[in-house]
Amino acid sequence: MNDPYVTSVAQLKKIAEILKLPADVVERLSVHDKFLEVHFPVTMDNGAVRMFTGYRAQHSNARGPYKGGIRFSPFVNQSEIRALSMWMTWKCSIADIPFGGGKGGVIVDTKQCSSAELEGISRAYIRAIHAIVGPDKDVPAPDMYTTPEMMGWMADEYAKIVGEYTPAMITAKPIEKGGIEGRTEATGLGGFYVLQNLAERERLDPKQTKVAVQGIGNVGYYIARYAHDAGYRVIAIADSRHAIKNDQGIDIDTAVEFKKSHGSFEGMPGATVISNNELLALPVDVLIPAATENVITSENAETIRAKYILEMANGPVTDEADAVLEREGVVVIPDVLANSGGVTVSYFEWYQNMHREQWTKEKTFSELKKKIDSAFDAIYSYKKENSVSFRMAAYAVGVSKVVEALKNNS
């Protein structure tokens, strides 16, 4: 089993060689400024008091307050949280937003909890970590199995503790609690902007470009829909149980509506049911893993026939698989660029809250496109000039800006 934190440090060391970073800088960035483990009680619906374990990792605030999601999952662990917080540092730097990397999590199976229990866990968790978060310290957001509603509960609980409602302490809140228009679409739309930049630079004709999307949750749905609407041939999509394909293209909204009414994609007219593994191996131009981490591994990397992989999930390609894909000439656009739309719009929400503004969806999308276009240009140029992979170029651009900030702060 891959250790995510070990992987993140190994990636940093590879970048350090490219950038010729001093050993003391590498050592500093290999560890976290702070890592907090908390244990807190919650009264469950049956009256029993249950103890929960949570974490908050703060990797580096050289460029600004820590920023990163909170995930609720039975599989949350220290290594994962540490790795994700480090990757958030690079992601914020790549997106050129004034944040550093943070990440949090609680070990809990949300499927086994009622809404009231989830509210209790959310409030108890923020009470446990409140001293190290805040608009100028650390700004959380939702992540796996957490929602805007939960962020609203956390914002309310934080207000009770500090004595006033402080919307900028957390992002991706409901609109009525200080959220921003367009946050729901942000990650998928940002990925679509990356796809558009890729198509322009690599001279891909959307009408001739076949796309497969694994994962049709919020992120996968929006990038699939935007790609379909822009003329790309989205020939396959998948949920956690089934994948479907149609070589002529799939109408995304029709497919999603069918799934809603029938419970799955199985039996959808004009589409062939295939497995998730078969979807990953389709001969497409662009493969978009938008579900979970570690879906492309050393075991299936050689079956990949896509020309490009756009990582919309966090860490869908393992380090070992990455080496195989690079050897085979598959171009991987890394998650730190591809799915940075979410954190970018979270920054816009924080900025909006700090300045008591309310942005329109049009402004949010326009500003997001500027950020994504600029980040893509910088990474693509670095890749070409230094003959390195997209991933190494992205990390080099991100790490170098953090190192520069460390120098300026010392």
* Tens digits of residue pLDDT in 26-37: 999 999 999 999
Torsion of CA 58, 59, 63, 66, to 10 degrees: -20
**Phi/psi of residue 164, each to 5°?**
-155, 150
**Shared-domain flag, residues 140 and 230:** no
DSSP state for residue 130 in the 8-state scheme: G
Last residue of a domain, one of 333, 357, 376: 333
Written as six digits, the tokens of 28 are: 């500093």
Give pLDDT tens digits for 110-139.
999 999 999 999 999 999 999 999 999 999
* 54: containing domain: 4-11+31-169
Give pLDDT tens digits for 225-249.
999 999 999 999 998 888 999 999 9
Written as six digits, the tokens of 261 are: 């009414």
Give pLDDT tens digits for 166-214.
999 999 999 999 999 999 999 999 999 999 999 999 999 999 999 999 9
For residue 1, is pLDDT > 70?
no
**Shared-domain flag, residues 188 and 164:** no
pTM across the whole model: 0.93
Contacts with 74 (C-beta within 8 Å, 6 or more apart), sequence order: 107, 108, 109
Assigned domain for 348 exists: no
Evaluate whether 372 touches 218 at the Cβ level (below 8 Å).
no
- Catalytic, out of 103, 173, 383, 401: 103
Q: Is 103 a catalytic residue?
A: yes
Written as six digits, the tokens of 354 are: 């700090």
Assigned domain for 363 exists: no
CATH of the domain at 152: 3.40.50.10860
User: SS3 for 407?
Assistant: helix
**Shared-domain flag, residues 199 and 326:** yes
User: SS3 for 272?
Assistant: strand
Assigned domain for 261 exists: yes
CATH of the domain at 218: 3.40.50.720
